[in-house]
Amino acid sequence: MENGFSSPRNDSFPAGLRVLVVDDDPTWLKILEKMLKKCSYEVTTCGLARDALNLLRERKDGYDIVISDVNMPDMDGFKLLEHVGLEMDLPVIMMSVDGETGRVMKGVQHGACDYLLKPIRMKELRNIWQHVFRKKILEIRDIEGHESFEGIQISRNGSDLSDDGHMFCGEDMTSVKKRKDFDNKHDEKDFGDHSSAKKHRVVWSVDLHQKFVKAVNQIGFDKVGPKKILDLMNVPWLTRENVASHLQKYRLYLSRLQKESDLKASFGGIKHSDMHLKDPAGSFGLQSSINTNQNDVANGRYQFSAHKLFGQDVDVKILEGDLKGIFSEHMPDTKKTLNADNPDPQETSSQMSFDHSFASLGSEVNYEAFDCRIWSEAPKIELKREHKPLLQLEDGFSQLPPCAPEHHVKIDKLHPVPSVTSGLSLTARDVSGPIKNEPLYAEYQSNRVSHVSPKKCESFPVQSKSHMVVNHQSYESVSTAISSMKPQGFNLSCITDFDYSQRNLKASDSTLAPFNETACLLQGDFHNKYFGLPNIEFTGCNDPSFLAEIPVHWHDTLTSDYECPLDPTEYSIFDQGLFIA
């Protein structure tokens, strides 16, 4: 039924929101009903948890959100919460006159998207629509990621390869938007189905990716095709589509590497220009950005950028030669891996400087992990555009720890290493895709047309500061991983840490949230409005539930979430991260 959500741009939204209120206290039921009606919501009241569950089961799509009291005679509110979350996947808000931290914590742990204290104010009820909206958006992104990624990849293949990425935003925005709108509508109808039938994502592990690269090299890069690769890889569960999208990403990555061969010098531009990267151009933006926007980076932009790394073409070049020094400083692990081919991991001031920035990021960066991540998510990138890399990065972050030791950096042969930085910039472009944060990207893109902004570097260090460090680290590790990537590709061992990163993400949710908001706001795009970020009540509902619910797509969400806030500074940081790796 039409519930106002099918089109986020519907002016009447959130009017008509279908709320189910469950409370054993008749007085409260009456009051809440009245309050919700005043918010123009459609209210159904229930005095018993059992009745509520029955109602929900009868009409699976009959409600948008459930508000339930914690203390009920027939069933514990938390139990109801679990049931609703599992069976119907609806956002649930808990209420209680008891605001004890332990109780609130329990609510959140059980998946409540918010916990309200009685007496409840009108303004609190007015805002509950955000939880519904947020969920829808995440679902859309998820679905789109699955469905549209392939299509977008293919359609963009040509353009991607031809332009250096800066153009992406411009041209793709419209098309992506249109596509997104279409998908939104399309997806909306299927929401019920989608929520329960998420597509299986292919995680491009290091091994898998190596197989892939091996196959590609065997066939010959010029003659390569998804079918041939698939046959050679001999992975039964892999589909042609998976390979196709992965190949697309790989191609982009390689092309960027080539284009940015002179970016190595610019890499050195990171804040400390003594980095001896060949091109001081700083298209990477690593240079300057390192310092400045740490906060941004910390908060999750980092994550975003991480994804973008994928697309970045800069990294490879830089990684190849000069990064070694950089990585070595910070991360003993990465250093080793990175320097496999480089005799002198530790030397050079450039390294030092680079390390500096990275150091802040944390020493656990597993670039390798990053690498893995980048690739692992590749096929799933939700963003129609290059966002997908973002996803990967996300994973990379999480993956960090385990990956590090596995990859031996052969910087020389880092071609495959995705240029993280370029990826970042790409993301800006790409962002304009499905994610509602599009505007952000679009804007970013225009800013970025020239290059990864110098601000990027800044963001990087920021990350280390926040609890986002984890992400950063992963970022870093990713970069190192990238650099250390053997010619064959990314060391995609990172799948394991997904949870880790996930946890971190959750932790950083609160920090991320504000950034997201800011980023979006900065971009000033109308998307922000739709995005439902205005409240950014992450702290209120860090949504461990939603995070928990989407472990698999977590990175997806993250990427999409962070796309918006990603601004040039983030990109630069991202770039740096790439290098560092």
Partner 1 sequence: MELGQMQGRLAEYTRSLYMEGILDAQFLQLQQLQDESNPDFVVEVVSLFFEDSEKLLNDIARALDQQSVDFKRVDAHVHQLKGSSASVGAQRVKDACVAFRNCCEEQNVEGCLRCLQQVKQEHYLVKNKLETLFRLEQQIVAAGGSVPMAEMTF
| 122 makes contact with partner 1 (CB under 8 A) | yes
Under the criterion CB under 8 A, does residue 76 sit at the interface with partner 1? no
Tell me: does residue 96 bind partner 1 (CB under 8 A).
Answer: yes
Sole binder of partner 1 in the list 31, 154, 161, 521 (CB under 8 A): 31
The answer to whether 27 contacts partner 1 (rule: CB under 8 A) is: yes
30 near partner 1, judged by CB under 8 A: yes
Instruction: Verify cis geometry, omega within 30 degrees of 0, for the bond prior to 119.
Output: yes
Per-residue binding letters, 507-526, with partner 1 (x by CB under 8 A): --------------------
> Measured between alpha carbons, how far is 109 from 355 in angstroms, rounded to an integer?
38
Q: Segment 302-361, which members bind partner 1 (CB under 8 A)?
A: none
Q: Does 234 bind partner 1 (CB under 8 A)?
A: no
Among 50, 79, 83, 118, binds partner 1 (CB under 8 A): 118
Does 214 engage in binding with partner 1 (CB under 8 A)? Answer: no
Our finding on whether 98 is near partner 1 (CB under 8 A) is yes
CA distance 390 to 430: 10
Instruction: Quote the tokens at residue 454.
Output: 């110098």
Residue of 5, 17, 22, 28 interacting with partner 1 (CB under 8 A): 28
Selected binder of partner 1 within 7, 24, 198, 534 (CB under 8 A): 24
State the minimum distance, in angstroms, from the CB of residue 36 to partner 1. 11
Q: Is 74 in the site for partner 1 (CB under 8 A)?
A: no
Write down the residue that tokens 């050079």 correspond to. Answer: 348
Least distance between partner 1 and beta carbon 103 (Å): 11
Does position 34 bind partner 1 by CB under 8 A? yes
Q: Which stretch binds partner 1 (CB under 8 A): 116-124, 207-215, 263-271, 383-391?
A: 116-124
Kindly state the DSSP code that residue 235 receives in the 8-state scheme.
Answer: -
DSSP alpha helix (H) spans, 404-549: 420-431, 438-448, 455-465, 469-484, 498-523, 526-531, 544-549
Is residue 41 a contact point for partner 1 (CB under 8 A)? no
Enclosing H/E stretch for 116: strand 114-117
Under the binding rule (CB under 8 A), the answer on residue 71 touching partner 1 is: yes
Q: Which residues contact 289 (CB under 8 A, 6 or more apart)?
A: 270, 271, 453, 454, 455, 456, 457, 458, 459, 460, 568, 569, 571, 572, 573, 575, 576
Q: Give the H or E element holding residue 15.
A: none
- Give the nearest distance from C-beta 30 to partner 1 in angstroms: 6
Secondary structure of 130-170 as H, E, C letters: HHHHHHHHHHHHHHHHHHHHHHHHHHHHHHHHHCCCCHHHH
Please, what is the minimum distance in Å from the beta carbon of residue 68 to partner 1?
A: 13
Strand order in the sheet with 18-22: 42-46, 18-22, 65-69, 92-96, 114-117
124 binds partner 1 (CB under 8 A): no
Question: What is each CA distance from 534 to 108, 110, 357, 440, in whole angstroms?
Answer: 21, 25, 32, 15
The yes or no reply on residue 78 touching partner 1 (CB under 8 A) is: no
Q: Which stretch binds partner 1 (CB under 8 A): 118-126, 147-155, 168-176, 477-485?
A: 118-126
- 189 is a contact residue toward partner 1 (CB under 8 A): no
38 binds partner 1 (CB under 8 A): yes
Q: Cβ of residue 77: shortest distance to partner 1, in angstroms?
A: 12
Name beta bridge partners: 96: 117
Q: Does 99 bind partner 1 (CB under 8 A)?
A: no
Q: In whole angstroms, what is the distance from residue 145 CA to residue 560 CA?
A: 10
Host H or E run for residue 310: helix 302-311
Does residue 227 touch partner 1 according to CB under 8 A? Answer: no
Quick one: 41 or 358, whose CB is closer to partner 1?
Answer: 41
Would you tell me which residues interact with partner 1 (CB under 8 A)? 24-28, 30-31, 34-35, 38, 69, 71, 96-98, 118-119, 121-122
